[in-house]
Amino acid sequence: MKVIEIRDLHKIYKASDIEVHAVNCVNLDFQEAEFAAIVGPSGSGKTTLLNLLGGLDMPTSGQILIDGTDLSMLKSSALIDFRMRNIGFVFQSYNLIPVLTAKENIEFIMSLQKWIKKEREERSFELLKAIGLSDRTNSRPAKLSGGQQQRVAVARALASRPKFVLADEPTANLDSKSASTLLEIMEKLNHEEKITFIFSTHDPRVMKMARRVITLEDGKVVSDDVRE
């Protein structure tokens, strides 16, 4: 089942008299439960494409359809609500809320969505166990290692069972062991939760584990390799 459809997508930035085609005529579909990596050199358009998919930026032209909903047709408040209910985000800088515990960070989006307390707690404990941090429930980010913080960020992204998760260089600030652990957890959750993961990455470990690798150059898709 298609989760995302991208049609003739363009994003042009203007600097003085120069136009930069950050995303140039991209056409892609993503299916439910994919584990896909978007790769390419710096400046190839990876992060721009991820930001467009997440509704954090709007295209110059073209369409992004999520379950048939065209993001560009949503007004600001509707887009914020749609994003909160359908898209999970994982950033390389973790972006956890410092004053909240691991459990509270995971529950944050669920609270905004008005989940009842019992359901929030059951879901957060389920995810803390899945990421191997059930013993750090009440730890704030400052008391967690970088790898542990990123695991909490992944759990937070998955908490409300979004249609897909966008992960922008999620292993960039991690040592080799932490990065490998994180990838194994994300792959396991991808299988169990049936949630699509889309990575923007330079990391060979992510590329090796991904079941689909999309390569961008100068904003264009130059290869789309689907693996068994």
Among 2, 6, 1, 10, residue whose Cα is nearest residue 65: 6
Rounded-to-integer distance, Cα 199 and Cα 203, Å:
10
* Contacts (Cβ under 8 Å, ≥6 apart) of 38: 46, 49, 50, 198, 199, 200, 201, 214, 216
Among 121, 216, 211, 208, residue whose Cα is nearest residue 159: 121
* Contacts (Cβ under 8 Å, ≥6 apart) of 102: 128, 133, 136, 137, 138, 139, 140, 141, 144, 148, 152
For the chain, the structural domain boundaries read 2-226
Residue 170: predicted pLDDT: 92
Q: How many CA atoms lie within 13 A of 45 on its CB side?
A: 25
pTM of the model: 0.93
Tokens of 81: 């609500």
Rounded-to-integer distance, Cα 10 and Cα 39, Å:
18
CATH of 2-226, one of 3.40.630.30, 3.40.50.300, 3.40.30.10, 3.40.1130.10: 3.40.50.300
Give the pLDDT of the chain (228 residues) as one tens digit per residue.
899 999 999 999 987 788 899 999 999 999 999 999 999 998 999 999 999 999 999 999 999 999 999 999 999 999 999 999 999 999 888 899 999 999 999 999 999 999 999 999 999 999 999 999 999 999 999 999 999 999 999 999 999 999 999 999 999 889 999 999 999 999 999 999 999 999 999 999 999 999 999 999 999 999 999 986
